[in-house]
Chains A and B, each alone.
Chain A
Amino acid sequence: QSPPKPKDEL
């Protein structure tokens, strides 16, 4: 499974 997507990019 994939972890929650980190929206840490701009």
Chain B
Amino acid sequence: MNIFRLAGDMTHLASVLVLLLKIHTIKSCAGISLKTQELFAIVFASRYLDIFTDFISLYNTLMKLIFLGSSFSIVWYIRRHKLVRRSYDKDQDTFRHYFLLLPCFILALLINEKFTFKEVMWTFSLYLEAVAILPQLVLLQRTKNIDNLTGQYVFLLGAYRGLYILNWIYRYFTEPHYVHWIPWISGLVQTLLYADFFYYYFESWKNNKKLQLPA
């Protein structure tokens, strides 16, 4: 494992921890999109179907369990915890996320590396992950006062994607036959979706001002 991949996994892990910290300690999910969180839970559930069949490393299995467990518990918190669900901005979080599910699934049926159940589900998870942040970005744009933890959460998610691209570039030059178009293109699309957010995040950081996205 190279440094970019490790750093990418760690920022991904940190993003989840920041979100759980916010929800668990402040008992608030203000500014967090349940739609995006549900999509991430579906992403992990469909991607990690191999968790009990293909063993890669203890690290790999543990991380998969952490991402599965955390994504489902975040959804549980927002839907079921009586204090947390009260802080959920239901009226702002209106993105119709099921409109993303069907096109991603059809695309996975059409464009995949092998037409098997596991492979199609894995490809579906990549396409869905690429666009899963959209409801969250829309919600951020509607939120007047983005709190620091929410801003950091989205920043860490974007950093994770950027680091994965560096990891792929590194692996392309150091490993023979390392060409994977489907994860690369969907990963690139995913990272580009964060570009606008990053711009305003750094501007607010540079000017020492509160983060606010233009509507």
Contacts and interface: CB of A to CB of B under 8 A. Distances in A.
B50 A10 contact: no
Contacts of A10: 9, 12, 60, 63-64, 67
B180 interface: yes
Contacts of A7: 50, 54, 56, 122
Contacts of A9: 5, 164, 167, 183
A2 B177 CA distance: 6
Interface residues of B, number: 19
Interface residues of A, number: 8
Contacts, number: 23
A7 B177 CA distance: 14
Nearest to A8: B56
B128 to A, nearest CB: 15
B113 interface: yes
B179 interface: yes
Interface in B33-71: 50, 54, 56-57, 60, 63-64, 67
Contacts of A3: 177
10 contacts: A2-B179, A7-B56, A8-B56, A8-B57, A9-B167, A10-B9, A10-B12, A10-B60, A10-B64, A10-B67
Interface of A: 2-3, 5-10
Given A8-B56, A9-B183, A10-B64, 6 more contacts: A2-B179, A7-B56, A7-B122, A9-B5, A10-B60, A10-B63
